A and B are shown apart, each in its own frame.
Chain A
Amino acid sequence: MIHSLFLVNATGDIFLEKHWKSAVSRSVCDYFFEAQERATEPENVPPVIPTPHHYLISVFRHRIFFVAVIQSEVPPLFVIEFLHRVVDTFQDYFGVCTEAAIKDNVVVVYELLEEMLDNGFPLATESNILKELIKPPTILRTVVNTITGSTNVGEQLPTGQLSVVPWRRTGVKYTNNEAYFDVVEEIDAIIDKSGSTVTAEIQGVIDACVKLTGMPDLTLSFMNPRLLDDVSFHPCVRFKRWEAERILSFIPPDGNFRLLSYHVSSQNLVAIPVYVKHNITFREGSSQGRFDLTLGPKQTMGKVVESVLVSSRLPRVVLNANLSPSQGTYTFDPVTKLLTWDVGKINPQKLPSLKGSMSLQAGASKPDENPTINIQFKIPQMAVSGLKVNRLDMYGEKYKPFKGIKYMTMAGKFQVRT
């Protein structure tokens, strides 16, 4: 399975390597660098690269390439999924997953990688188990360790590893017992030039933060479970119960976790909460272009559209943009041609707009495509699909937990073609 792992930063240096079988020379990465050079953007590096003796499978996250070296047939998704899990674990441990963070905690990283894979086969990837084996570094613990000489390596095999509920450790205790659920929905949409929807779908997740003592058994029911068309669960959810009664029944992991993610397919009608009026023109021959953009809310059920951020990559011939926003701030990077406009809240009475002119390269011909506009926004207290949690019950423990639920709608991959 996974033979070795190389971590490569944006400038193309290998800053960490780990081998699970006999060591593979880092020169194998030369093939990777070749591919990297050929690709203009780091995103364009192909995830699977064959070399004469090995196969390189890489993922790119947080501006770091995680390159796994494979020697024989293995499902590529297996490796990719594992690498992503490694990144998630690092992020979980160090808060951020940057080159600096990894370099600072190189020993912990090594211990983690050692536990996560044995002979190239995943051993423990559940973060609860890992945290019992190797305690995450905190300032307090570092101080205590240096004074007392104790270690941050667990002495006992985590109980979760053996039990039927490997995701939860035993003996959890809290003084405040609380369970919070966030229903977050993202709208993926493509809007065409005339403002009509080409495609729109909703991707939702329910993230939970559960801090409950003991071994609670929770059930969560929905007002309208039929909306959930296609779901994937955290392993803790009892699938049979869902099939039969459309109720989520589970013993939750401790702390933060993603309970389920769902997909409301494009067959259903999706309410698009914002509209864009745009007028971007380039005139043949002249070195000026006009830019005019107005945003407005629609179908928001009276909720406020917040944290609106508009970004667009303007054509290469644009040298500079001279715009004036009615609210918020805008930046234009002349090198990457990226225009971003931080709008903030949309006030339905006074619609935000961005107007002005663009200066074009002299003599260059007019670009044949107008830029696409990417929009990000948030609408709190609303789930655009209409999903509603009915009730949450707890069994198996005596105390009364504090329960909370929050809804939120966000833009996912929301694009407007102009």
Chain B
Amino acid sequence: MLESSKESLKLEAMKRVVGLIAKGKNASELFPAVVKNVANKNLELKKLVYVYLVRYAEEQQDLALLSISTFQRALKDPNQLIRASALRVLSSIRVPIIVPIMMLAIKEAASDLSPYVRKTAAHAIQKLYSLDADQKDHLIEVIEKLLKDKSTLVAGSVVMAFEEVCPDRIDLIHRNYRKLCNLLMDVEEWGQVVIISMLTRYARTQFISPWKEDGVFENSEKAFYESDEEKRKSAEETKPYAMDPDHRLLLRSTKPLLQSRNTAVVMSVAQLYWHLAPKHEVNIITKSLVRLLRSHREVQYIVLQNIATMSIQRKGMFEPFMKSFYVRSTDATHIKTLKLEILTNLANEANISTVLREFQTYVKSQDKAFAAATIQAIGRCATNISEITDTCLNGLVLLLSNRDETVVAESVVVIRKLLQTQPSEHSDIIKHMAKLFDNITVPMARASILWLIGEYCEHVPKIAPDVLRKMAKTFHNEEDIVKLQTVSLAAKLYLTNSKQTKLLTQYILNLGKYDQNYDIRDRTRFIRQLIVPSERGGALSKYARRILLAPKPAPVLQSAFKDRDRFQLGTLSHTLNSKATGYLELSDWPPMAPDQSVRNVEVAEAMKEWSPAVGKAKSSKSDDKFYSDSGEEEDEQAADSGSDEEGGSEGSTRTPVSLSSEAESENSETSEDSSQSEKSSDSGTGVKKTTTQKNKKLQQAKKPRKLVSVCDRVCVCVCQQLSSPVFVPVHTYELLHRMTGKGLAAQYHFSRQPCIYDDRMISVQLTFSNNGDHTLENIHISEKTSAGQNIHCFSPIECLEPEKSVTVSMGVDFNDSTQAASFQLCTKAEGFNVSIQPAVGELLLPVTMSEQDFSKEQVWGAVFAAKLVSSGALVLVCVVQKDSGAQLTVNTEKTIIGSMLLRELQTVLSQGS
């Protein structure tokens, strides 16, 4: 039929072939006939052929090669669906010979116009990598390229490829980190899961721990953490923890995803918060996790496992939701046990009575395995919470009369463990158990009772020999474990009460000597040597009593989930409690924050695209010439400023025109126009280049330092576009002198980073130092006096030792005016009125703008663009070369800011020369 000329027949035939594949039958002998149809026009037929090819190409490599040319043709098809599916199939047929072709196709597809095709390319990367790992380097190049892609469609797939091919190349993420965080909301749900887990690992290597020493959280903090904490504590005393804004960004952008309908997404956000968020913020995941419990059985299973791990470390998180973990009779057994586990973890003095009442119901459950698990849980509660031990014991003893064997056995075992903690008071329980001994047949339980009697034979001197007598009778019928315990019981009794039991012991030892099991024979021989005084007088027999009847430490009953936290939550490894292939360890927090500026690249990159002309102009010129140029230019300006001061009396000088009145008449946009006066003496040839270059050069700090320090305040916008704000020299201002502050001195500087409290605020870093000789307590801000200005205060500093200093950050919304923000700075004892005065440049934020936009906004020859922090109004600065001077233009809606900025720029530029 496949050979038929009729398409419908072919299709029918192909359908049957696919049916065969689906059933797992071998259809590979049809390969030649099928491959012929690969070029068929019918799309459904084609798809089915693809399915077939992908399945069998690996087995029939030579024949599969016949189809390659078809795919290569299809890769050029105008229909993106066809291009994509051709690439999919091409990369899915695992034939090593075509690796170069695949590589080529992937590279091409990675720059395809359609994001769908690019997504397919990202998938193909993984396939090629699994086929031929040697291509890694080339593939990493492609991944790097695709990581820059702005399409939400591609993001998830490429991160997946990244995880598979080069999970250790963290450096590729830096530049894309912020973009990924921002896109996260819009990426499709599967991509979200992958990206979140990748970012979790990334954040663990890039940010410092937010878990400052807010106490040893709960009681389960491990020892090695503590030592770490210790160290960090000392480091933090000088520098309080301030969360990296990028770290905050990650937490903020993932939070809404807790509301996702996809359980995998919710879980991955939950684990991100668990591993990355400050301790007090983790609680927001609780509700969402509890919600997931309503989902399918399998989902419940995984979620409960993760909750179990979390609940060990932090009871408080889930305690309010305890009722959600109550067991229903319809739950599957593994879910019941998990719920039980969680309930046990959550139990504390306050809620134990409710929990125990629940447990009582469970013990009666028809599901006996579950009932047994409940008894163990009761045991754990009883050891953890000492008040209820007695109640639990009584309850368990009642259970001993239960008809079900497993229940009884389990109770015996648990009672034994409990009794070990406080044996003396409970001899009646031991007696009771000895009475029950005849009815119990489960070996583990029998062994437990024997051990108990042996261990505490002094409390039950009458019963013990009797039990031993019974055991001697039935010895040969017992299980190995019971026999072993019988032997130890005999030995112990022999030591304490040899009068009554000497013969019995010897009888049992004889029985043991000829037992089938070598363990028992060994044990018997050992015991005999130890306790029976032989003529050779073994050196050990003196110590026999101390060896056998040494006080034994009580066993610690603890959760099976105790050590699961070494695995990242939500992973397969965590579920299995063993390392799965390909599991990537979550690294510990770095002790020091790595350079944050690596993630800043984006802006500079945009800058490069934005002003290629500048770059070119610069490169075309030799450095020497550049220097001389600017030198000349500065000369002229020096002269020019001189002339300005003279009052603009020179005829050729144009004085700056203030256009404030004009501005109002114009459409809300004031253009301040001031021309730097031209100089007649200078010839135009020397000053070929625009002042753009000059400015740029100023910013690059090749000029005297004096200039930069003055200039940086004004030109913050400029600086930020050219380089990251990190490199801006810090200029600190005095807020409070130590004399006025009676020992407390305060300084501030503008950190020029986006404020984390509010977009419209400017972040100010305050440094307090105590120069007095007594500790200052409770430093805080009270009374914000100035109107129209918002201040986000720092959290109060509890105490400041003498000779110590501390840095905090606060946010101030200056409302786009240079009016000082004044407030009262208080210590416990006194208050001081202080004010922060912003320079006009601090009110600006750099913005990136294309040349077109800029000229659309106002003028040609784009130079610098910025916006006001509070109102977001644009500020455009333009420097234009006029025949022999330069013209500086500032455009902004806010007249006052504009004129102030202009004035400052002018002084700086003229000073610089």
A313 and B328 CA atoms in complex are apart in Å by 13
Are B193 and A75 neighbours in the complex by a CB distance under 8 Å?
yes
Q: A17-B22, A417-B361 are in contact. Are A235 and B296 (CB under 8 A)?
A: no
Residues of B within 8 Å of A199, CB to CB, are 323-324, 326
Query: What sequence of 0s and 1s flags, for each residue 35-46 of chain B, a beta carbon within 8 Å of any chain A beta carbon?
Result: 000000011110
Contact of A372 among B268, B329, B332, B580 (CB under 8 A): B329
Looking at the complex, which of B99-107, B256-264, B614-622, B649-657 is the stretch in contact with chain A? B256-264
Looking at the complex, which of A155-163, A342-350, A400-408 is the stretch in contact with chain B? A155-163
Query: What sequence of 0s and 1s flags, for each residue 147-158 of chain A, a beta carbon within 8 Å of any chain B beta carbon?
Result: 001011111110
Q: A75-B268, A413-B328, A415-B330 are in contact. Are A231 and B48 (CB under 8 A)?
A: no
Minimum CB–CB distance from A69 to chain B (whole Å) comes to 13
B628 near A: Cβ within 8 Å?
A: no
Query: What sequence of 0s and 1s flags, for each residue 17-36 of chain A, a beta carbon within 8 Å of any chain B beta carbon?
Result: 11101110010000000000
Are B291 and A369 neighbours in the complex by a CB distance under 8 Å?
no
Residues of B within 8 Å of A84, CB to CB, are 296, 298-299
Residue of B nearest to A266 (CB): B323
Contact of A73 among B188, B266, B302, B584 (CB under 8 A): B584
Are B18 and A60 neighbours in the complex by a CB distance under 8 Å?
no
Are B291 and A121 neighbours in the complex by a CB distance under 8 Å?
no
Are A232 and B260 neighbours in the complex by a CB distance under 8 Å?
yes
A417 and B15 CA atoms in complex are apart in Å by 54
A406 and B188 CA atoms in complex are apart in Å by 31
Are B291 and A263 neighbours in the complex by a CB distance under 8 Å?
yes
Q: How many A-B residue pairs have CB under 8 A?
A: 244
Q: A22-B94, A48-B575, A155-B43 are in contact. Are A75 and B328 (CB under 8 A)?
A: no
Q: A157-B81, A201-B324, A316-B366 are in contact. Are A121 and B18 (CB under 8 A)?
A: no
A139 near B: Cβ within 8 Å?
A: no
A268 and B291 CA atoms in complex are apart in Å by 15
Residues of A within 8 Å of B260, CB to CB, are 232-233, 235
A235 and B7 CA atoms in complex are apart in Å by 41
Residue of A nearest to B371 (CB): A369
Residue of B nearest to A263 (CB): B291
Minimum CB–CB distance from B591 to chain A (whole Å) comes to 27
Q: Which of A15, A17, A153, A316 has the most CB of B within 10 A?
A: A153
Residues of A within 8 Å of B8, CB to CB, are 146, 149
Are A232 and B302 neighbours in the complex by a CB distance under 8 Å?
no
A106 and B81 CA atoms in complex are apart in Å by 23
Residue of B nearest to A74 (CB): B572
Are B261 and A155 neighbours in the complex by a CB distance under 8 Å?
no
A61 and B298 CA atoms in complex are apart in Å by 10
Contact of A59 among B44, B296, B580 (CB under 8 A): B296
Size category of the B interface is: 35 or more
A395 near B: Cβ within 8 Å?
A: no
Query: What sequence of 0s and 1s flags, for each residue 248-278 of chain A, a beta carbon within 8 Å of any chain B beta carbon?
Result: 0000000000100101011100000000000
Residues of B within 8 Å of A37, CB to CB, are none
Q: A15-B23, A267-B320, A413-B328 are in contact. Are A258 and B261 (CB under 8 A)?
A: yes
Are B582 and A230 neighbours in the complex by a CB distance under 8 Å?
no
A161 and B79 CA atoms in complex are apart in Å by 14
Residues of A within 8 Å of B153, CB to CB, are 161-162
Minimum CB–CB distance from B175 to chain A (whole Å) comes to 24
Size category of the A interface is: 35 or more
A76 and B8 CA atoms in complex are apart in Å by 42
Interface of chain B, main secondary structure? helix
Residues of B within 8 Å of A78, CB to CB, are 190, 193, 264
Are B262 and A50 neighbours in the complex by a CB distance under 8 Å?
no
Residues of A within 8 Å of B94, CB to CB, are 22
Are A121 and B123 neighbours in the complex by a CB distance under 8 Å?
yes
Minimum CB–CB distance from A112 to chain B (whole Å) comes to 11
Are B330 and A374 neighbours in the complex by a CB distance under 8 Å?
yes
A163 and B562 CA atoms in complex are apart in Å by 47
Residues of B within 8 Å of A1, CB to CB, are 160
Are B324 and A157 neighbours in the complex by a CB distance under 8 Å?
no
B301 near A: Cβ within 8 Å?
A: yes
Q: A44-B334, A151-B44, A153-B44 are in contact. Are A118 and B18 (CB under 8 A)?
A: no
Residues of A within 8 Å of B729, CB to CB, are none
Contact of A230 among B80, B197, B288, B365 (CB under 8 A): B288
Query: What sequence of 0s and 1s flags, for each residue 403-440 of chain B, a beta carbon within 8 Å of any chain A beta carbon?
Result: 11000000000000000000000000000000000000
Q: A22-B58, A415-B330 are in contact. Are A59 and B570 (CB under 8 A)?
A: no
Contact of A157 among B24, B84, B297, B329 (CB under 8 A): B84
Q: A17-B24, A107-B48, A110-B22 are in contact. Are A81 and B299 (CB under 8 A)?
A: yes
A77 and B571 CA atoms in complex are apart in Å by 8
A41 near B: Cβ within 8 Å?
A: yes
Are A21 and B44 neighbours in the complex by a CB distance under 8 Å?
no
Residues of B within 8 Å of A267, CB to CB, are 320
Are B42 and A413 neighbours in the complex by a CB distance under 8 Å?
no
Are B403 and A72 neighbours in the complex by a CB distance under 8 Å?
no
Q: Which of B324, B329, B576 has the most CB of A within 10 A?
A: B329
Are A152 and B44 neighbours in the complex by a CB distance under 8 Å?
yes
Residues of B within 8 Å of A367, CB to CB, are 366
Contact of A44 among B193, B332, B403 (CB under 8 A): B332
Q: Which of A76, A122, A243 has the most CB of B within 10 A?
A: A76
Minimum CB–CB distance from A225 to chain B (whole Å) comes to 14
A290 near B: Cβ within 8 Å?
A: no
Closest 8 CB pairs of A and B: A72-B582, A151-B44, A199-B323, A369-B364, A157-B81, A47-B298, A122-B190, A77-B264
CB-defined A-B contacts under 8 Å, sample of 17: A1-B160, A23-B55, A72-B581, A75-B193, A75-B197, A75-B268, A75-B571, A76-B575, A80-B302, A123-B123, A153-B44, A155-B81, A157-B114, A230-B291, A233-B259, A233-B261, A413-B328
Interface residues of A (CB under 8 A from B): 1, 14-19, 21-23, 26, 41, 43-44, 46-48, 50, 55, 57-61, 70-78, 80-82, 84, 106-107, 109-111, 114, 118-119, 121-123, 125, 146, 149, 151-157, 161-162, 164, 166, 188, 190, 192, 198-199, 201, 203, 229-235, 239, 243, 258, 261, 263, 265-267, 313, 315-316, 365, 367-369, 371-372, 374, 413, 415, 417
- 19 A-B pairs besides A46-B334, A73-B582 with CB distance below 8 A are A57-B298, A78-B190, A80-B298, A106-B19, A119-B126, A121-B160, A149-B8, A151-B43, A157-B81, A157-B116, A162-B116, A166-B188, A190-B328, A229-B287, A232-B259, A239-B256, A263-B291, A263-B294, A415-B330
Interface residues of B (CB under 8 A from A): 7-8, 11, 15, 18-19, 21-24, 42-45, 47-48, 50-51, 55, 58, 79-81, 84, 88, 91-92, 94, 114-116, 120, 123-124, 126-127, 130, 153, 157, 160, 185-186, 188-190, 193, 197, 256, 259-264, 266-268, 287-288, 290-291, 294, 296-299, 301-303, 320-321, 323-324, 326, 328-330, 332-334, 358, 361, 364-366, 402-404, 570-573, 575-576, 578, 580-584
